[in-house]
Chain A
């Protein structure tokens, strides 16, 4: 009978330790979750429609805007595009798609909104997804816009009706010119 209170007290002590541990765990968890509660200082919105369609070779302008939602001015922000080929599940090299691959913002004041416009050249047929990314200097996480989709249909340049006369005609005209020159030369030599 004398052992029962001792067992109880031990059980209570274990419970207390478990509660302390769970409390500490909860504190740790809340400390980890803290950054997600901090609002993003930059908000990027794509103003163009969610789906932009065209034929290979067409140009479209993607209009977006960036807003500084923080109470302080932000400096040295690099904004750029990220394009994904959804058929091939691969990112796309933007070299031929856009002459301006990135736009640099020196300073954006608090609550200020700046436009971001990119002229995009539909180079190849397919379906693509585009996001605008902003990377403020010193930030560990870039800010990303919502996604815009491109639907690019192929452009066939099949126009044999135009090219055939040129492809056949030019060599034939040259042969004719050579024959005329040769004939004139022979006549001159004979005379």
Chain B
């Protein structure tokens, strides 16, 4: 049943060319970035590992944004199009529906990753980092995006509105990426360091810096960045669990 629901979601996404246009726009963005990095005189002076780190930030930043927007509407749209009632009253468990939608959101990330692979291969050619680069972007991206989509599905169940879910999700994404704009003095403050320790985006980019710039390739050497991502995923799952219980208590048709 999960498989059928997941395929239905994917078909709905790719049914029209408009549904997949974002993939083409993302490919154009990666083309532009990688071409500029490898041909521009100033940018090409960058160390190649630093260049890979920049590209990984562009790929993961784009993925987080696109998947967050998609996950914000994938469930909430069922309430707005009034298809939620028939969906939840059919002999399909709510958990199966949520799992299928979560898988569909993760599939978008995997599609985006597949598009990014040629760019990652061409920019890392000549280094020994091609496989670690691909592997760690896939691993860290999957962990981070899996947690983020669980969180967004939980918000969707509580809000039952695409607009509110999307606004909240984007604000959360902005808050998680805000430390990137901080100066090094601000980053050194105690509060900022505690936030960075648990912030999934910070941990993803720190891990990539550790792998690509400091050449610390093993999972053990990156364990201190991986466990906060697992913790974020567990916290997001717990939030979804609470949202499901609240949703069941309120009933499928919410009475304001």
A binds B: yes
Q: Which residues of A contact B (CB under 8 A)?
A: 56-57, 59, 96, 99, 121, 123-125, 154-160, 162-164, 166-171, 174-175, 178, 181-182, 185
Which 6 A-B pairs give the minimum distances between C-beta atoms? A167-B31, A157-B44, A167-B35, A163-B38, A99-B214, A166-B122
Among candidates B48, B115, B122, residue contacting A162 with C-beta atoms closer than 8 Å: B122
B45 touches A178 (CB 8 A): no
B47 is an interface residue with CB less than 8 A from chain A: yes
Contacts of A99 in B (CB 8 A): 214-216
In Å, the complex CA distance between A131 and B14 comes to 60
Contacts of B20 in A (CB 8 A): 178
Which segment of B21-29, B70-78, B155-163, B239-247 sits at the interface?
B21-29
Chain A residue at minimum C-beta to C-beta distance from B214: A99
A57 touches B17 (CB 8 A): no
A–B complex contacts, Cβ < 8 Å, 10 sampled:
A96-B214, A99-B215, A121-B213, A155-B45, A157-B48, A157-B51, A163-B122, A166-B34, A170-B31, A170-B118
Contact status of A57 and B35, CB under 8 A, knowing A99-B214, A170-B118, A178-B24: no
Nearest CB on B from A95, distance (A): 9
In Å, the complex CA distance between A96 and B121 comes to 23
B15 touches A185 (CB 8 A): yes
B86 is an interface residue with CB less than 8 A from chain A: no
Nearest CB on B from A24, distance (A): 51
Contacts of A56 in B (CB 8 A): 45, 47
Chain A residue at minimum C-beta to C-beta distance from B116: A170
A160 touches B45 (CB 8 A): no
B79 is an interface residue with CB less than 8 A from chain A: no
In Å, the complex CA distance between A107 and B20 comes to 64
In Å, the complex CA distance between A159 and B227 comes to 38
Chain A residue at minimum C-beta to C-beta distance from B17: A178
In Å, the complex CA distance between A57 and B44 comes to 12
B123 is an interface residue with CB less than 8 A from chain A: yes
Chain B residue at minimum C-beta to C-beta distance from A185: B15
In Å, the complex CA distance between A98 and B114 comes to 33
Nearest CB on A from B211, distance (A): 12
In Å, the complex CA distance between A119 and B53 comes to 21
Point out which of A125, A154, A160, A170 has the most chain B C-beta atoms below 10 A from its C-beta: A170
Nearest CB on B from A29, distance (A): 45
Among candidates A96, A125, A169, residue contacting B213 with C-beta atoms closer than 8 Å: A96
Nearest CB on A from B50, distance (A): 8
For window 45-74 of B, CB contacts with A under 8 Å fall at 45-51
Contact status of A171 and B28, CB under 8 A, knowing A160-B35, A163-B34: yes
Chain B residue at minimum C-beta to C-beta distance from A159: B38
B34 touches A174 (CB 8 A): no
Contacts of B119 in A (CB 8 A): 166-167, 170
Contacts of A171 in B (CB 8 A): 24, 27-28, 31
In Å, the complex CA distance between A168 and B30 comes to 10
A160 touches B47 (CB 8 A): no
Point out which of A59, A155, A163, A174 has the most chain B C-beta atoms below 10 A from its C-beta: A163
B46 touches A157 (CB 8 A): yes
Nearest CB on B from A81, distance (A): 15
A160 touches B30 (CB 8 A): no
Told that A96-B214, A174-B24 touch, could you supply 4 new A-B pairs with CB distance under 8 A?
A56-B47, A157-B44, A169-B118, A170-B119
In Å, the complex CA distance between A166 and B115 comes to 11
Nearest CB on B from A150, distance (A): 14
Nearest CB on A from B11, distance (A): 10
B37 is an interface residue with CB less than 8 A from chain A: yes
Contacts of B125 in A (CB 8 A): 159, 162
B39 is an interface residue with CB less than 8 A from chain A: yes
In Å, the complex CA distance between A57 and B125 comes to 14
Chain A residue at minimum C-beta to C-beta distance from B49: A57
B39 touches A160 (CB 8 A): yes
Contact status of A125 and B45, CB under 8 A, knowing A99-B214, A163-B38, A171-B27: yes
